[in-house]
Structure 1
């Protein structure tokens, strides 16, 4: 079908057939420019991403870094890992909020993603840092402007993740006494009175052990619930203190060793296309009063 259409266009090239060819050529050029530079940029971020150990080192440096009340959301296009914009931000602004969430947007080749499956979270160890990674997944027909704001939906799902992650983490932190269940009655009691007395005494001992274990389990369970409540309360306090959206304004330029073709491709063509696209804050209706753009230059 495409060959027939192309042949008909070429046959009537001088009668206006050049217009579809010119339009197709323009679209192919735009797609090539965007895909090529975007791929270079993504690989640059992937090679210079911040490791978990470096995040722990940065956030634990209480001498040079201050933790302030609030919740900060870092937006990036990097799905795997933490973007280098975080390192750049900390080196210039030595202050971080109590709770950090690194958010990346991923478009899936399906029509819709259910709301309960939209957000995927992962905690950055150690747990005391309160640092999370989040991937927000959308289908090609999903509407970005939901009834609930993106911020509220993310925080609600983060609370659910914290609860599930907490109980999974403490799943093996249970009864460590190893007390077995009581034996059946027929196996416990003998036929003689001495055996009956001995069985009765053993039964009393086992009953006391069970009661003690139950009290210890209740105390331990209450302690775990208190720990979980403190984690959720810390997130609520951070939300009440203020949510800040940090968006990376990554400028790409050709490196000094690049040729003239690469310079035109990156410095002029790609930047022209990028400046005419919708920004992240417009897509998710991020309030401008609580938005901070962090600039960084990538040499590709």
Structure 2
């Protein structure tokens, strides 16, 4: 909490230290009393803390392995451009939600190869919560155009007090307006306007990690059992965006690491 006060809230360091010493006195007294009665039941808070530490470390370990896999198997630019040009382009706009900020994640190729088509306008959306109270509307969207025609990237930024939502037509219209403002020609603007009228779909990638037999039993248990259990029960950033269920499409992929 002291670090949050200094870094995020930018509280004066004197007030942060005052809070720290006040809290450490209370916590120190509580910790000392537990150590004096460890056998009589003082071990229970330590056991609870150990459980939470295991959960936290497992989640961090799993997320790091997922990031390493996507960084290793990120789709090559030329390969992705060939995939887009050789795939049927259907009318409409698709928001593909992904955690990967740079590059194209492998689940995109998995989706395109299985479905056999992609929308004329495909936007890779990554949601990021910044350590600020609120993000200005002008800084909400960080957009960019990828190589193939009609394929874009959009980084959506929220503050921790902002309302995270993609519900209704306001989000779609805001993103498309940002792309239109940055469009290079009139043909691209017409394509974007037509895509909104042809329908919108949000594709949510669902990744499952699996440790191969070459790894140790502890790592396999952490990823194949504990981390997978946490994945099934956690709530992602995308889940907080209130995307209309009738416009959602979930695509799953197994990452063997």
TM range, smaller chain:
0.7 to 0.9
TM-score relative to the length of structure 2? 0.82
Cα-to-partner distance string for 1:171-223 (whole Å, 9 max, x where unaligned): xxxxxxxxxxxxxxxxxxxxxxxxxxxxxxxxxxxxxxxxxxxxxxxxxxxxx
Cα-to-partner distance string for 1:67-121 (whole Å, 9 max, x where unaligned): 1101011111111111111111122221111100001122222232223212111
Unmatched tracts of structure 1, length 5 or more:
167-226
- 2:206–2:252 CA contact under 8 A, matched in 1: yes
SS in 2 for 1:125: coil
Q: Who wins on radius of gyration, i.e. which is larger?
A: 1
Alignment coverage as a number of residue pairs:
232
Equivalent residue for 1:240, pick from 197, 200, 210: 197
- 2:207–2:255 CA contact under 8 A, matched in 1: yes
- Equivalent residue for 2:101? 79
1:135 matched to 2:175: no
How far apart, in 2, do the equivalents of 1:285 and 1:153 lie? Answer: 11
- Deviation, 1:56, is 1.6
1:150/1:7 CA distance change after superposition, 3 Å: farther
Counterparts of 1:151-170 in structure 2 under 5 Å?
152-164=170-182, 166=184
- Deviation, 1:165, is 5.1
1:17 matched to 2:80: no
- 1:159–1:232 CA contact under 8 A, matched in 2: no
- Deviation, 1:243, is 0.6
- Deviation, 1:252, is 0.8
TM-score relative to the length of structure 1? 0.71
Counterparts of 1:16-55 in structure 2 under 5 Å?
16-55=41-80
1:45/1:150 CA distance change after superposition, 3 Å: farther
Alpha-carbon RMSD across the aligned residues, in angstroms, is 2.1
1:68 matched to 2:25: no
How far apart, in 2, do the equivalents of 1:138 and 1:72 lie? Answer: 21
1:292 matched to 2:242: no
- Deviation, 1:3, is 5.5
- 2:167–2:243 CA contact under 8 A, matched in 1: no
SS in 2 for 1:250: strand
How far apart, in 1, do the equivalents of 2:248 and 2:195 lie? Answer: 16
How far apart, in 2, do the equivalents of 1:82 and 1:152 lie? Answer: 26
How far apart, in 1, do the equivalents of 2:169 and 2:44 lie? Answer: 46
- Deviation, 1:13, is 1.8
